[in-house]
């Protein structure tokens, strides 16, 4: 895994802004060490995480009017799968590329880095994870395609290539790629909303991650983001480099998985601390209160794991708890500027240890 800057700030997905170039300028200003491309969800459904992931996947149709992705009844399934696997076997990542109307923040970031540069060595992107994607997309009977093994395997392969395509684009502008799979659907793991075994979920995640590394044909740092509570051992045991979690709301839940967390940190895994809430709680907090909360949590985790605090901080990034897409523009801007301040404080704290 390429070297990361400890306690650097980066972002999670969506923003409420409508100008991609202005948004990217704000991101480059507030998180220059690991800028990310923003999902411009206020510009229409094509910017939704499910729609962004769908292009290039077999037998699916993006319905902009209904705001959903569904099986395409006009396309024979066998034919769609045959064409899809021909693309996979070709090794060409072009069929899995974003189009500009799907991800305007991605192309704005690429253009800004290409023409103006940025000081950091890495860029961060994201994509809907396989469990979330197949849990949201329904077949003709209204059942999630997650329970269609053949189609889910194909989706895993397609999402892996879409991750690899992003990584290739980042390398073309001279930056190390960091890609997060976003898995909010895993907050339902173990409930009636996600009646699958740990083994089944693990296979889906591992297939996607392993194929992404293989297709990327170069160094690739992979993370997984879950903005709610889940079976954290399931994620910690997956072949990821970074676990991205809502530390503001679920730090104590993560602590319960001390053995899996210890093994993850022991193999060099990093934590992306979602220390700034992206709901109405943000309005009740200040940079000082959030900073104190993070210091207490990091110190507690070091004690739990019987590790030096410096070791924990050296394997940490800082993020918002989730995307800011449904905050007001003013609040979202406040989240990003607060994050920049806390990242600066964090790096000063680490340097003092």
pLDDT digits (tens, 9 = 90+) for 191-233: 656 778 889 999 999 999 999 999 998 999 999 999 999 999 9
pLDDT of residue 140: 87
pLDDT of residue 1: 78
Q: What is the pTM of this model?
A: 0.97
Cβ neighbours for 88, distance < 8 A, ≥ 6 positions apart: 157, 158, 161
What tokens were used for 14? Answer: 């969506």
Residue 231, helix vs strand vs coil: coil
Would you say 266 and 306 are in contact if contact means Cβ atoms under 8 Å apart?
Answer: no
Would you say 240 and 224 are in contact if contact means Cβ atoms under 8 Å apart?
Answer: yes
Domain range annotation of the chain: 14-352
**Burial of 285: CB neighbours in 10 Å, binned 0-12, 13-18, 19+:** middle
Mean pLDDT, consecutive 10-residue stretches, the chain (353 aa), reads 92 98 98 98 97 97 95 92 97 97 97 96 98 94 93 98 98 97 88 77 97 96 96 97 98 97 98 97 97 98 98 98 96 98 98 97
Would you say 126 and 57 are in contact if contact means Cβ atoms under 8 Å apart?
Answer: no
| Strand order, beta sheet including 270-276 | 122-128, 176-182, 221-226, 242-245, 270-276, 316-320
pLDDT of residue 191: 60
Decide if domain 14-352 falls under CATH 3.20.20.210.
yes
pLDDT of residue 194: 73
pLDDT of residue 190: 63
Would you say 294 and 247 are in contact if contact means Cβ atoms under 8 Å apart?
Answer: yes
Q: Cα dihedral angle (301, 303, 306, 308), rounded to 10 degrees?
A: 80
pLDDT of residue 145: 95
What tokens were used for 64? Answer: 């902009």
pLDDT of residue 84: 97
pLDDT of residue 65: 95
In whole numbers, what is the pLDDT of the chain averaged over residues? 96
């Amino acid at each position: 895994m390429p070297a990361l800057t400890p306690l650097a700030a980066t972002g999670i997905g969506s923003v409420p802004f409508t100008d991609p170039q202005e948004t990217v300028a704000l991101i480059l200003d507030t998180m220059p060490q690991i800028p990310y491309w923003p999902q411009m969800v206020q510009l229409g459904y094509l910017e939704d995480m499910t729609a962004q992931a769908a292009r290039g996947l077999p037998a699916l149709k993006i319905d902009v009017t209904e705001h959903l992705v569904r099986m395409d009844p006009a396309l024979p399934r066998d034919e769609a799968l045959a064409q899809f696997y021909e693309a996979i076997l070709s090794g060409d990542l072009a069929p899995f590329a974003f189009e500009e109307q799907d991800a305007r923040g991605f192309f704005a970031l690429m253009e800004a880095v290409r023409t103006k540069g940025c000081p950091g060595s890495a860029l961060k992107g994201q994509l809907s994870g396989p469990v979330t994607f197949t849990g949201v997309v329904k077949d003709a009977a209204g059942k999630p395609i997650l329970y269609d093994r053949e189609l889910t395997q194909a989706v895993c392969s397609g999402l892996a290539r879409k991750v690899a395509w992003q990584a290739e684009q980042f390398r073309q502008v001279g930056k190390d790629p960091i890609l997060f799979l976003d898995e909010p659907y895993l907050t339902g793991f173990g409930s009636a909303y996600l009646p699958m075994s740990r083994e089944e979920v693990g296979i889906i995640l591992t297939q996607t991650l392993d194929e992404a590394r293989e297709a990327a044909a170069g160094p690739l740092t992979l993370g997984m983001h879950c903005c709610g509570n889940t079976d954290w051992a399931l994620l910690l045991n997956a072949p990821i480099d970074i676990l991205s979690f809502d530390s503001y709301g679920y730090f104590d839940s993560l602590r319960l998985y001390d053995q899996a967390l210890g093994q993850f940190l022991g193999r060099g895994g990093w934590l992306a601390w979602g220390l700034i809430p992206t709901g109405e709680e943000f309005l009740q907090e200040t940079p000082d209160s959030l900073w104190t909360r993070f210091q207490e949590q990091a110190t507690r985790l070091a004690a739990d794991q019987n590790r030096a605090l410096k070791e924990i901080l050296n394997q940490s990034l800082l993020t918002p708890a989730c995307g800011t897409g449904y905050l007001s523009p003013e609040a979202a801007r406040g989240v990003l500027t607060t994050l920049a301040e806390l990242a600066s404080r964090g790096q000063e704290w680490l340097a003092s240890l």
